[in-house]
Structure 1
Amino acid sequence: MDTNNVEKMETQNQHSQSHEQSPTKGTTFLRTCFNGVNTLSGVGILSVPYALSKGGWLSLLLLLLVALVCFYTGLLLRRCMNSDPLIRTYPDIGQVAFGRKGRAIISTFMYLELFLVAVEFLIMEGDNLHKLFPKECFNVFGMKIGGKQAFVLGTALVVLPTTWLRNLGVLAYVSASGVIASVILVLAVFWGGAFDGIGFDERGEILNWSGLPTTISLFTFCYCGHAVFPTLCNSMKDKSQFSKVLLVCFVLSTITYGMMAILGYLMFGEHIQSQVTLNLPTKNISSNIAIYTTLMNPITKYALVISPIATSVEETFPFRESKMMSCLIRTCLVISTVFVALLIPFFGYVMAFIGAFLSITVSILFPCLCYWKIAIGFKKFTMEMSVILMILFIGTFVAVVGTYNALTNIINEVHTK
C-alpha cells in the first residue's frame, strides 16, 4: 500500500470525531481575529523595546520584515491544509508532508517551545515581583529564600493547582483578556513617559550590527503563533476568510509591537532592560498598572501552555485515565520548569534562544518545507519556489547565528553569576 495513503488513513482515524461536527458550527470572523491577536500578543511585547535597543532604530524595518515573512508562512500553512481536508493540526501537516517523522519532529519543536514559554512565565513573574517587593523573603521547609528565586517558587505554587485541571474552559476564557492586557500595558507605558515624568528624551543608535541576531530572534518570538493557526482555521464557520484573519492579526499585532518598541526605546534608550516593566519606577500609578497587568497573564496562561505537553505525556501511559497519575505528571512538569527558570533566569536571552532556535524553525522554516513538499514538489522550479528558497536560506542562517549568540550569552551569564 502507498505510504501516503497509509498516513492519510492514520490522520483520518485520529480526527474522525472532528469531522462529525456540523459544518454550520464554528467561530465568527471577528472572534477568530480576536483569538488570533490573543495568540500573537504574548510576553514578547515586554521585550520589543529591548530588541530595538539591540539593533537600533533601523531594526524597526526588521520588525516589519519578520511580520511579513511570518504572515506569508501562515498563508503557506493554509495552502497546505487545502491540499487535504483531513488536516486539522500543525503536526498533521508535517505527517502529510514527511510521514511519521515529520509529525514527530514538528511535535517535538512545538512542545519544547511551549515548555520554554512556561519557563519564561516564571522568570518574568520572579523579575517583576522582585521589583515590586525587593526585600521580601519566604520560609520554605525552614530555609529562608529571598529575591527572584523566592517569587519563582511562589508563582509555581500558585499555578500548580491550575495545572491539575483537565477542563481548562474557565482558564481559556480568562486568558482571552490577553489582548486587553496588551493594550493596557502600552497605554500605561505611554502615560508614564508622557505624564509621570519619565519623558521621551533618549535618542538611541541608528544601527547596531552586532545586536541584530538578538533583535531578529526576539522579533520572531513575537510572531510564533503558527502552531495554533491550523486549529484557528478549522474552528471558523467560513474557512475561506482565514487569510483575511491572518492579515488583521498581523497588522494589529505589528502596530502594537511597534508602538511599544518606540515608546520604550525613547523612554530608556540603551538602559532598557529585557522587560520594559523593570525600568518603570514603582512610585508611579501608571507603572504599577503596567507591572500588575503583566503579572496577571502568566498566572492565567501557564496551565494552558503546560496542558498540551502533559496530555501528550499522559497518552503514552496505559493508565492515562488515572487522575492521580495525571496530577503527578503535571506536578513534575511544573517542577521541571521551576528548575530551568532557577538555573537560567535570563528572560531576554532565553527568549532570544526560543526565537532563534524554535520560533524561526516552527514559524518560518517548517511551513516553507511542508508547502514545498506538499504543493510544489521538489522537481518543479517556479518563482514562488525561488522566494521560498531565499526564505529558507536566510532563515537558516539567522537561526544558526541567533541560536549561537543566545547560547553564548546564556553561558556567559551562568559563569558570571
Structure 2
Amino acid sequence: MSASPAARGYPDIGALAFGGKGRFAVSLSMYAELYLVGIGFLILEGDNLDKLFPGTSLSLGPGIVVSGKNLFIVLVSIVIVPTMWLRNLSVLAYISASGVLASVVLVLCVLWAAVVDGVGFLGKGSRMLNVSGLPTALGLYTFCYCGHAVFPTLCDSMKEKDKFYKVLVTCFVACTLNYGSMAILGYLMYGDDVESQVTLNLPDGKLSSKLAIYTTLINPFSKYALMLTPVATAVEEKLLAGNRRSINSMLLRTFLVISTVIVALTVPFFGDLMAFVGSLLSVMVSMLLPCVCYLRIFGTARCSRTQVLLILTIIVLGSLVAAGGTYSSLKKIIHERAL
C-alpha cells in the first residue's frame, strides 16, 4: 500500500485506516501470531528430541525430576536465548538460510525412508476427503503462508529493497514446492495415521529417520529469533524507550523466551496449536485485516468492481476459515489438555 510514505509496516497501515484503534488491532494480531509461532517451534523441538532420546530425564533435587519433552523444551530455550540478543536482522537472515536447506534435506530424507528403508507408500486407511478435518486443515494451510507479519521488518533490513518483491515470489514458490512435496509423501506413506509431524512416524533406528529429525531441529533454532524479534522490539519501544541497548533489553528478551517456554509446557500440542494460529491469527493478519484496511484507505470508489468483488470474496472465505478452524482447534486443545 503506497497511500502514505509514513506507512512502513502493518501497524502503520492500521493507523492510516482506522487511527489508534486500527494500529492496536493490527499490532495485537500480528504480535500474537508471531509469539505463538515461537511457542510452536519449542514444542516441535521437544517432540523430536524426545523421539531421538526417549526416556531422558534430569533430577533437580529431591522429588523434582524433569523428563521427556518438557526437559528438551527447557534445554532448547537456553540455547535459543543468545539468538534473541542479536539486533541485526541481516545476521539472522544467514541463520535462517540454514533452515531453508534443512527443509529440503527433510523432504529428501522422508522420500528416502519411503523408497529405500521399507516404509513404502502404504496409504493405509486413507481417505481422499475428510470433511470433519477440513477446518483444521484449512487453518494449517493458512499457517504455512503466514509470514506476512515479518515482511515489513525484513524489507527494512534489506540493503537492496527494490528486490524485495522478487524475494517474496521466490520464497512463496519454494515454500509451495516444499510443503506440497511433504504433504503428498506423508499422505501416501501413512494416510490417516500421519502424525502432526511426519518425523514422529518415521521408523526408529534408521539413518534417514535420524537425519530427518536432526534437520527438523535446525528450523526452530534458525527462525525462532526471526519470529520473536518484532515482538521484542515492540515491547522495548513501550517499556524501555531510548534505553534499548542496555542490559535491560537483554533481560526483557530473555523473559520473553521464558514466557514462551511456560506456554509450550502448558499446551504441548503442536498440530492443534498451529491450526489455532492459522485459523484465527494468520487469517486475521494475512487475509482479513489487509483487505479491510485496503478498502478503508482507498474506498470502493477508487477500486474496480473486480477488485471489490475479489476483496469481499477473500473476507468471506477468511471469516469462514477463522470461525470453523478456531472452534475445531480450540475444541481439540481442550480435549487433549483434559486427558
Same fold, judged at TM 0.5 (above): yes
Identify the residue that residue 315 of structure 1 maps to in structure 2.
237
Deviates more, 1:304-313 or 1:159-168: 159-168
Match of 2:116 among 195, 206, 216: 195
Aligned counterpart in structure 2 of residue 113 of structure 1, from 11, 28, 33: 33
Match of 2:274 in 1: 351
Which whole-Å CA distance do the structure 1 matches of 2:106 and 2:309 have between them?
Answer: 40
Could you say what secondary structure the match of 1:138 adopts?
Answer: strand
Return the alpha-carbon distance in structure 2 between the equivalents of residues 153 and 174 of structure 1: 21
Aligned to 1:272: 194
| Residue 410 (structure 1) shift | 0.5
CA 1:236–1:156 in structure 2 vs 1: closer, same or farther (change >3 Å)?
closer
| 2:284 counterpart residue number | 361
Which letter does structure 2 place at the counterpart of 1:146? S
- Shift of the 244–151 alpha-carbon distance from structure 1 to 2, 3 Å rule, reads closer
Structure 1 residue 288 displacement after superposition: 1.0
Aligned residues of 1:96 and 1:374 also touching (Cα < 8 A)? yes
Alignment map for 1:162-173 (pairs within 5 Å):
162-167=83-88, 169-173=90-94
In the TM superposition, residue 169 of structure 1 has moved relative to its aligned partner by: 4.6
In structure 2, how many angstroms separate the alpha carbons of the residues matched to 1:226 and 1:304? 13
Q: Which amino acid aligns with 2:314?
A: I
Deviation at 1:228, TM superposition (A): 2.9
SS at match of 2:80: helix
1:225 paired with 2:156, answer no
**Cα displacement (A) at 1:401:** 1.2
Summarize the alignment of residues 321-400 of structure 1 with structure 2, pairs less than 5 Å apart: 321=244, 323-377=246-300, 382-400=305-323
Residue in 1 aligned with 2:206? 284
Change (3 A) 1:158 1:230: closer
In structure 2, the residue matched to 1:123 is 43
Once the two structures are superposed, the pairs formed by residues 9-158 of structure 1 within 5 Å of their partners are: 80=1, 82-141=2-61, 143-158=64-79
Superposition deviation, residue 107 in structure 1: 1.2
Structure 2 CA distance for partners of 1:238 and 1:303, relative to 1, 3 Å:
closer
CA contact (8 A) 2:300 2:308 kept: no
Distance, in Å, in 2 between the alignment partners of 1:394 and 1:123 is 30
Cα–Cα, structure 1 residues 349 and 259, in superposed 2: closer, same or farther, change >3 Å? Answer: same
Shift of 1:211: 0.5
Distance 1:396 1:378, change over 3 A: farther
1:299 aligns with 2:194: no
Q: Deviations over 1:319-365 (max 9, x none)?
A: 63462322221222122111110111000000000000100110111
Note the C-alpha offset of 1:131.
0.3
Q: Secondary structure at the match of 1:197?
A: coil
Change over 3 Å in CA distance of 1:300–1:233 after alignment to 2: closer
Give the Cα separation in 1 of the matches to 2:289 and 2:159. 24
Cα deviation, 1:167-187, whole Å, max 9, x if unaligned, reads 455443122222211111111
Give the whole-Å Cα distance in 2 for the aligned partners of 1:310 and 1:87.
20
CA distance in 2, matches of 1:338, 1:248: 33
Q: Which of 132, 152, 177 matches 1:255?
A: 177
Distance across 2 between alignment mates of 1:248 and 1:162: 26
Superposed CA offset, 1:360-402 (max 9, x none): 1101111111221223337977222122112111211210111
In the aligned structure 2, how far is the partner of 1:244 from the partner of 1:157?
36
After alignment, is 352-361 or 197-206 more displaced? 197-206
Kindly tell me: are residues 318 and 254 of structure 1, through their superposed partners in 2, closer, same or farther at Cα, counting changes over 3 Å? closer
Distance in 2, Cα, partners of 1:325 & 1:354:
30
Structure 1 distance, partners of 2:59, 2:251, is 24
- The alignment-based identity, stated in percent, is 53
Deviations 1:167-211 (A, max 9, x none): 455443122222211111111111110111111121521211111
Q: 1:162 and 1:140, CA in 2 relative to 1: closer, same or farther beyond 3 A? A: farther
In 2, are the aligned partners of 1:372 and 1:378 still within 8 Å (CA)? no
Aligned mates of 2:159, 2:247 — CA distance in 1: 36
Measure, in 1, the Cα distance between the counterparts of 2:319 and 2:94: 37
State the 1:304 CA deviation: 2.7
Kindly provide the amino acid, as one letter, of the partner of residue 60 in structure 2: V
User: How far does residue 123 in structure 1 lie from its aligned partner after superposition?
Assistant: 0.5
User: Could you tell me how far apart the structure 2 residues matched to 1:377 and 1:231 are?
Assistant: 29
Listed as ranges, the gaps of 5+ residues in structure 2 are none
Distance in 2 separating the partners of 1:195 and 1:326 = 50
SS state of the match for residue 232, structure 2?
A: helix
Aligned residues: 335
Match of 1:159 in 2: 80
Q: 2:99 aligns with which of 173, 178, 185?
A: 178
1:216 aligns with 2:138: yes
Residue type at the aligned position of 1:300: S
Letter in 1 for 2:46: G
